Amino acid sequence: MESVLFPDETILPPRTEMLRAFTERDGSCDGLFFAAVTTTGIFCRPSCPARKPNPENVEFYATAREALFAGFRPCKRCAPMEDAKRTPEWARALIGRVEADPDRRIKDGELRAEGIDPAAARRFFLKEYGLTFQAYCRSRRLGDAFQAMKGGGGIDDAVFDHGWESHSGFREAFGKATGMPPGSARDGDFIRLAWIETPLGPMVAGATEEALCLLEFTDRRMMEAQLETLRKRFSRPLLNAESPVFDRLRTQLGEYFRGTRKEFDLPLAYPGSDFQVRVWDGLRRIPWGETRSYAELAMELGLPPGASRAVGHANGLNRLAILVPCHRVIAADGGLGGYGGGLWRKLRLLEREGSVTKLVEKGKGRR
């Protein structure tokens, strides 16, 4: 894939790729470029649901600012000037309240009294996190209850200290979520889940008692499959709960996005096939500020050139975005290649690591 470097250090894919994404309403390219329609004077996101114009009437810009300066106005349907990846303030505040007091029940009536539509909250949490707001709260309470019982607390304490109104309701919810009775909690463990805010959108993190085992952008299409893989690989239920390792993760991600951290020193767990683990280990050895093609990574791993497709497949199954830097693997011709979290995020990560110029240099001669 060829690339074009613009004065503000952003790059664009080739026109054919952008036309394909715009025509197919490919949401993974939102933020990567903007499409401007010369016959209407409007510019849009790639995923805009409006009827698509003839290709000869479309121009592409790296930023909304460039489209505005070129005389185009933002589309009212896809609102390209708004940050679609940012968590709404009401949702951010709601998550903050739950985290500040996970055991307190927040009922629909309370949401309405505060001007929040319970149906809107349900839809937002279901879309972004894969479960409704009430299910999120319930999972959070269950996670804390599991932690308490694992630490030696009694079932009565777990029921009444964590927002449950009856033993039967607690036992039913606990059984559905974990597949075990509450009395077995002291001998079991679970995968803790938490949501992490980043400049590129919210991420879901997962951790065992000892190590991080998941870090994905919440809108990744494979999220549900990744969570199911975690259940199978670790043979443990997944519940919302906090962990000291999440505090370290938030601190180190903040440093990474501010440009003061180039390497992470967090405990990681990523079980897989021998080949997959070999590839993921190889990804961790790609230095900050550098990229590899799939073929180059295969060569570094001592694999034959024909293994690049298998390497790419294992790369796509990585469950620890950023920490196991699969975004540093690009196409053989110097283009971005693919990325489960969306190409726009891959570009932004490479920009932060100073790899954009090198990316363009690899693509020279193919313009």
For the chain, the C-alpha Rg in angstroms (whole number) is 23
Neighbours of 15 (CB within 10 A): 14
DSSP state of 232: H
Q: Which of 321, 324, 293 is nearest to 309 (CA)?
A: 293
Query: What are the structure tokens assigned to 260, written together?
Result: 């003061």
Helix/strand/coil for 164? coil
DSSP string of 257-301? HTTS-S-----B-----HHHHHHHHHHHTSPTT--EEHHHHHHHT
Residues carrying an active site annotation: 326
**Strand 11-12 relative to strand 4-5, pairing:** antiparallel
CA gap 218, 201 in Å, rounded: 8
Please work out, in degrees rounded to the nearest 5, the angle formed at the alpha carbon of residue 177 by the alpha carbons of 277 and 111: 115
Long-range contacts of 364-367 (CB under 8 A, 24+ apart): 364/334, 366/2, 366/333, 366/334, 367/2, 367/4
| HSE-up of residue 140 (Cα within 13 Å, Cβ side) | 23
CA gap 162, 128 in Å, rounded: 25
Which runs of E-coded beta strand occur in the chain? 4-5, 11-12, 34-37, 42-44, 58-61, 73-74, 191-196, 203-207, 212-217, 238-240, 292-293, 329-330
User: Cα(first)–Cα(last) distance of the chain, in Å?
Assistant: 9
Neighbours of 259 (CB within 10 A): 10
> Furthest-apart CA pair in the chain: how many Å?
70
